[in-house]
Amino acid sequence: MLDSKQNPLSCMFNVKKMISPLSDEVKMSKEFICSSCNFKTKYHYFGKKPPFVKSFMMMEEAYIMKDPFSSEGGIIPLGSHCTICGKSVCLSQECSIFYTRRFCVHCVKENISEFPPEIQTEVVKKKNK
């Protein structure tokens, strides 16, 4: 039950307790947000070599989430940073392309002539969708 007569100071105290930096919830609250589609989820690791998977190396630095449905320490790569604009983008084909490095679709379109024909047709296909 909420007590509306509660004094403001005790309210503040309660909030501070809730966001204590020692709680697990706060540790887990690192969030990945795709700047293109706004897909948002929690992630566990950012980098090339997730510590919870043995002998595994990503092609690029990526936001990685532990696969909750895998018992063998599977992972789900969520996204990475665009090489040009540095924004975080998810790995969906709608949002980014991997061509030696990660590029967001926006930057690919802006620099389309720098990319090989197969990437160009990929992006043109997206445009006409």
- Alpha-carbon dihedral sign for residues 50, 56, 62, 63: negative
Annotate 10-43 with b (16+ C-beta within 10 A) or e (fewer).
Answer: eeeeeeeeeeeeeeeeeeeeeebbbbbeebeeeb
Asked if 34 is part of the footprint of Zn ion (rule: CB under 5 A), the reply reads yes
Among 37, 58, 119, 123, interactor with Zn ion by CB under 5 A: 37
Q: Which is nearer to Zn ion, 75 or 78 (CB)?
A: 78
Q: Which of 62, 64, 104, 105 binds Zn ion (CB under 5 A)?
A: 104
Q: Within 61-100, which residues bind Zn ion (CB under 5 A)? A: 82, 84-85, 90, 92, 95
Question: Should residue 36 be labelled a site residue for Zn ion when binding is judged by CB under 5 A?
Answer: yes
Report the interface residues with Zn ion, using CB under 5 A.
Answer: 34, 36-37, 39, 82, 84-85, 90, 92, 95, 104, 107
